[in-house]
């Protein structure tokens, strides 16, 4: 399977790098410290075109293929995992509208999502429903041509900034996915603060009390909310998180290289010490392998290969596992400075830890990937 990049792929990566270097990277520490994304950064994201980068041009999107989108997402993860989260939740929600929405729904929602006029967030998790999504308790009661929704959603990334939510509930015992505008009466949006990592992702708790939503806002057929809509969204989310995690590993590698080359220890710089050189080599290997798995998953997605979803999960699992180790080693290499807010490495460690939880914990991926391994997928290459 070829891994060469076309000019279009390089262009997407370079454009993303320029954008994040100018509009996001200078504010990454502030975003983490203040636990919010400044209005001007959000506005830059809304108007930059990146929120619709992976969507079709018909709706105003950038038409990036999975590899180009992944390379761009790596740049966002390198600069700031919190703002990369917005790309993830917005695109994973928009993708399922594109895939499962009616013609009328696509006409209504996708142009505004591509242009950044509206931000969409993903509302699935509840206090009793995390990895086991079948445990959701939010209820949608059908009254003629509308649902009346009651329940509570938590850990809704960029829920504080969103204009609309892709929300999952149960109606007569069957899971449904509906689009709920923020200004609907009965919907209360509350901040969730002081979290461990991706602290600027503007997490929200959504409380719904008989919120009336037209049946025309349902995405997909009744009963398809989890097995089709949510799973498709989470697949895209894992792909985005995997690439963003590669960006964290790269940031750690660059931080280690810079610090080891400049920091004096004894009679020379750290980079002259054998143990430090071994750590640099291991970190380089971690970045290379994680990125290679992401490239492979992107190529399989582009080819509509049936292994794509499992290979995406493999890429996410590997990237998040090595990112935690690499970030921990990066903090250790920096010594006491690794605990100082003057250096970004403690943020990398906290953000990497979150990557190992979101879009499926390590244990969830281990179980699923073991089943995939038993199918001997490598025999098909």
Q: Encode pLDDT of 6-20 as tens digits.
A: 888 999 999 999 999
Q: Which domain holds residue 285?
A: 226-380
Cβ(242)–Cβ(294) under 8 Å?
A: yes
- CB-side neighbour CA atoms (13 Å) of 376: 2
Instruction: Per-residue pLDDT tens, the chain, 381 aa: give them.
Output: 445 678 889 999 999 999 999 999 999 999 999 999 999 999 999 999 999 999 999 999 999 999 999 999 999 999 999 999 999 999 999 999 999 999 999 999 999 999 999 999 999 999 988 777 778 999 999 998 999 999 999 999 999 999 999 999 999 999 999 999 999 999 999 999 999 999 999 999 999 999 999 999 999 998 888 888 999 999 999 999 999 999 999 999 999 999 888 887 767 788 788 888 999 999 999 999 999 999 999 999 999 999 999 999 999 999 999 999 999 999 999 999 999 888 999 999 999 999 999 888 888 899 999 998 898 876 556
Residue 241 CB neighbour total at 10 angstroms = 29
For the chain, what is the domain count? 3
- What tens digit of pLDDT does each residue of 106-122 get? 999 999 999 999 999 99
Mean pLDDT, the chain, rounded, equals 93
Query: Is 2 domain-assigned?
Result: no
For the entire predicted model, the pTM comes to 0.93
> What is the rounded CA–CA span in Å between residue 69 and residue 353?
23
Same domain as 192, residue 288: no
Same domain as 126, residue 115: no
- What tens digit of pLDDT does each residue of 159-200 get? 999 999 999 999 999 999 999 999 999 999 999 999 999 999
**76 phi, psi to nearest 5 deg:** -65, -40
- CB-side neighbour CA atoms (13 Å) of 21: 6
Strand partners for 121: 165
Helices 81-100, 66-79: axis angle to 10 degrees equals: 150
Strand partners for 187: 208
Same domain as 69, residue 146: no
Q: Which of 204, 220, 236 is the last residue of a domain?
A: 220
SS3 221: coil
Query: Is 230 domain-assigned?
Result: yes
Residue 30 CB neighbour total at 10 angstroms = 14
| Sign (positive or negative) of CA dihedral 298, 302, 307, 310 | positive
Q: What pLDDT, on a 0 to 100 scale, did the predictor assign at position 380?
A: 58
Same domain as 355, residue 269: yes
Strand partners for 149: 140, 211
Q: Which of 165, 190, 220 is the last residue of a domain?
A: 220
> What is the rounded CA–CA span in Å between residue 52 and residue 252?
28
Q: What pLDDT, on a 0 to 100 scale, did the predictor assign at position 35?
A: 95
Same domain as 245, residue 104: no
Q: Closest by alpha carbon to 316, among 290, 298, 345, 339?
A: 290
Q: Which two tokens stand for residue 354?
A: 């979150």
- CB-based contacts of 15, cutoff 8 Å, min separation 6: 72
Q: Which of 71, 98, 119 is the last residue of a domain?
A: 119
SS3 224: coil
SS3 47: helix
Q: What pLDDT, on a 0 to 100 scale, did the predictor assign at position 381?
A: 63
């Amino acid at each position: 399977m070829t891994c060469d990049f076309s000019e279009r792929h390089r262009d997407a990566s370079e454009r993303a790098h320029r954008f994040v270097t100018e509009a996001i990277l200078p504010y990454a520490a502030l975003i983490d410290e203040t636990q919010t994304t400044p209005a001007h950064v959000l506005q830059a994201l809304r108007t930059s075109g990146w929120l619709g980068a992976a969507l079709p041009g018909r709706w105003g999107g950038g038409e990036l293929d999975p590899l180009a989108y992944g390379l761009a997402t790596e740049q966002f993860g390198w600069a700031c995992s919190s703002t990369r989260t917005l790309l993830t939740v917005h695109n994973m929600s928009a993708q399922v509208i594109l895939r499962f929405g009616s013609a009328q729904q696509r006409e209504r929602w996708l142009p505004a999502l591509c242009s950044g006029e509206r931000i969409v967030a993903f509302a699935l998790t509840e206090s009793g429903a995390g990895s086991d999504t079948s445990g959701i308790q939010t209820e949608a009661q059908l009254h003629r041509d509308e649902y009346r929704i009651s329940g509570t959603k938590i850990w809704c990334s960029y829920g504080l900034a969103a204009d609309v939510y892709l929300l999952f509930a149960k109606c007569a015992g069957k899971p449904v996915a509906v689009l709920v505008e923020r200004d609907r009466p009965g919907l209360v949006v509350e901040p969730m603060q002081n979290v461990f990592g991706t602290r600027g992702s503007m997490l929200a708790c959504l409380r719904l009390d008989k919120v009336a939503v037209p049946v025309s806002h349902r995405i997909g057929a009744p009963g398809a909310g989890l097995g089709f809509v949510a799973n498709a969204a989470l697949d895209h989310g894992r792909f985005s998180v995997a690439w963003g995690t590669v960006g964290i590993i790269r940031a750690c590698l660059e931080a280690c290289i810079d610090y080891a080359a400049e920091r004096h220890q004894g009679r020379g710089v750290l980079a002259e010490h054998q143990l430090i050189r071994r750590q640099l080599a291991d970190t380089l290997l971690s970045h290379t392998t994680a990125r290679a798995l992401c490239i492979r998953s992107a190529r399989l997605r582009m080819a509509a290969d049936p292994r794509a979803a499992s290979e995406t999960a493999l890429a996410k699992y590997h990237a998040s596992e090595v990112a935690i180790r690499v970030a921990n080693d990066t903090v250790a290499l920096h010594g006491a400075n690794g605990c100082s807010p003057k250096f970004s490495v403690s943020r990398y460690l906290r953000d990497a830890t979150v990557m190992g939880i979101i879009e499926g914990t390590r244990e969830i991926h281990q179980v699923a990937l073991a089943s995939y391994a038993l199918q001997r997928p490598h025999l098909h290459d």
